[in-house]
Amino acid sequence: MNRPGSPIVAGTMSKRFSFSVHGSTTRAVVLVAACIVAVAAFRVARAAFLPEIPNFAPVAALAFCGGLFLPGLAGWILPMVVLAGSDLALSALLGYPVFSGAQSVAWLCTLAVIGLGRWLSASPSLGLGRFFGSVLGGSVLFYLVTNTAGWLANPAYARGLSGLWTSLTVGVPGYPPTWMFFRNSAISDLIFAGLVLAVWVVATRSLRRPAVALA
């Protein structure tokens, strides 16, 4: 299952690393899909066994990498399905309603970040700066949009910019501050995205070596 286009890895002999998702192999796509499913399971396991690390769940990276590395409709469907499944599991585990206004906002953010990945997948090549910058941009999008929605919907926040600032920094009393949620999600997004990129590059290179040798 190859997507036609430019070479899989560009610039490997130069000092600046860049890559293209065109021409990805079936093995690489399957491995990326497995990583996405695994991280959705990790999201639930982390909430159950490591609650002291709030929001260490790479949701933005999962959405972005799905949109970037998975071909066609799979890039939209798989990230949304596994995230919705993990939301249902978290709802049962933690006792919050999964179908709520806040969750709808989060799903819209997920679609937007998948769309960013799909858009970048058409690029002839991507550098590490653009790749990780896009991942971090997805983290920031989730942080700003979901916390702004929380400020608008939660009467505990004061109206006006002071209430918005509170929602973006300390959050609601009795819960970890929202800046900590953002820090943990951003770190996990960058780590997971880097791992997926490494898996994808190794998978695509390992299958191209015999062809190169024969050539």
10-residue averages of pLDDT along the chain (215 residues): 44 59 84 93 88 87 95 94 90 78 88 95 89 96 94 90 93 87 95 94 67 36
State pTM to two decimals: 0.84
Q: Is residue 2 part of a domain?
A: no
Alpha-carbon span 15 to 91, nearest angstrom: 47
Indicate whether 145 belongs to any domain.
Answer: yes
Residue 150 in domain: yes
Find the angle CA(80)-CA(144)-CA(122) to the nearest 5 degrees.
Answer: 50
Return the pLDDT at 212. 36
Asked if residue 107 belongs to a domain, the reply is yes
Tell me, yes or no, whether 61 lies in a domain: yes
Tokens of 20: 């293209």
Q: What is the pLDDT of residue 30?
A: 93
Q: Report the DSSP beta bridge partners of residue 9.
A: 19
Burial class (CB in 10 A: 0-12, 13-18, 19+), 19: buried
Is 127 part of a structural domain of the chain? yes
Tell me the residue range of the domain where 198 lies: 9-214
Residue 1: inside a domain: no
- Predicted local distance difference test score (pLDDT) of residue 164: 94
Rounded CA Rg of the chain: 19
Q: Structurally, how many domains does the chain consist of?
A: 1
User: What is the number of residues in the chain?
Assistant: 215
Handedness of CA 62, 39, 7, 26 (dihedral sign): negative
3-state secondary structure of 142: helix
Kindly state whether residue 3 falls inside one of the protein's structural domains.
Answer: no
